[in-house]
Amino acid sequence: MAMNIAILEGDGIGPEICAAACKVLEAANDKYTLGLELIFADVGLKSLKRHGSTLTDQTFEIVQSSDGIVLGPVSHLDYPPIQEGGLNPSGVLRKRLDLFANIRPAKTRTELQAPLGKPFDLIIYRENTEGFYSDRNLYEGIGDLMVTGDVAISIRRVTRQASLRIAEAAFQAAVARGKKVTAVHKQNVLKVSDGLFLDCCREVAARFPEVIYDEILVDAACAHLVRTPEDFDVIVTTNMFGDIISDLTSELSGSLGLAPSINAGTQHAMAQAQHGSAPNIAGLGIANPSSLIGSVAMLLKWMGTQHGSSALIHASQSIDAALEQALMTAETRTSDLGGILTTEQFALTVAKNLA
């Protein structure tokens, strides 16, 4: 079955790491006869210059009709106000496409030195459509308000529907992993909103008696993640807490440059590197594309599961294995990991490693 993947290159190093990920995708497409077609569309500063908006209706239509999406990093802090076309493509796409689960694995690799010097393998399920993120918690407008010249208020939205479905996704993942879910919260302060979130987690936990369930305050979670990350398996949490602790766990596992991520809903999914656009190294050919390549592997697994395609799932597993192989020695790594390869050379190495 022919399927389309929309490629949105983004800003900074986005075009370079997207090109690298596409080389791996194209190699997998040829090797495993996946029937994928890559469709490129403008977002970010290039789109703003050409069309007056960082995310046009035309690009959104391409994305909406695609079977999968790859989004490069965006420099949204450099965008003009929304009224002048400065939409954040990442936030807008997550909201419009209802990509409710931001899934971020973090694991150590024996061939790479991690800060803690101890192995762990965990995954974070972060609610992606509400919370303290002002661009996605109101029907119209944003939830970040200037009441007077001296008073600013941010609104946090937590709903039963969103809490139940992210908890459900986390428990389903745990069944296939270490059978443990930890809900991270701040219910001692955010009594109502995190109280609702925990009620939903407990309701879902009751349907999965084979999964160990526990709860931990977000500040304590950060301390425990530094001290004993191996105690965690699946973490489920709200939007902002998930954003923060996923960066922490990714750094503890080795580097944000290695951290894959997928934004998934019931109808769409978007691969997205965890790191930013790094404009200071854009155009130098030294950016590490591992995070986006790993994210593409996650996207293919999601697509394979959605469409019942064993070929896509096999391709996902092969890309993961090829990426791991390329990271094993300094000779086949990028310079940020003590290697010698350029962005393009690393991508070609991963593509060559496909088995």
Catalytic residue numbers read: 133, 186, 219, 243, 247
Segment 201-236, tens digit of pLDDT? 999 999 999 999 999 999 999 999 999 999 999 999
Segment 320-352, tens digit of pLDDT? 999 999 999 999 999 999 999 999 999 999 999
321 by DSSP, 3-state: which?
helix
Segment 128-165, tens digit of pLDDT? 999 988 777 777 778 888 999 999 999 899 999 999 99
Pairing of strands 212-217, 101-107: unpaired
Largest CA distance in the chain: 61
Q: Output the CA–CA distances (angstroms, integers) from residue 281 to 10, 278, 288, 343, in the order listed.
A: 15, 6, 11, 11
Domain boundaries, the chain: 1-109+259-355, 114-122+144-253
Name the pLDDT band for 115 (thresholds 50, 70, 90): confident
Give every CB contact of residue 164 below 8 A, 6+ residues apart in sequence: 200, 203, 204
Q: How far is Cα of residue 62 from the mean position of the Cα atoms in its chain?
A: 20
Architecture category of domain 114-122+144-253 in CATH: 3-Layer(aba) Sandwich (3.40)
Does the pLDDT value for residue 4 go beyond 90?
yes
Q: Residue 351: its pLDDT value, please?
A: 98
Q: Residue 140: its pLDDT value, please?
A: 78
Average the pLDDT over 67-72 and give the result.
98
Name the pLDDT band for 110 (thresholds 50, 70, 90): confident
> What does pTM read for this prediction?
0.94
Segment 248-280, tens digit of pLDDT? 999 999 989 999 999 999 999 999 999 999 999
Q: What is the CATH number of domain 1-109+259-355?
A: 3.40.718.10
Q: Choose among 56, 86, 75, 65: nearest CA to 6.
A: 65
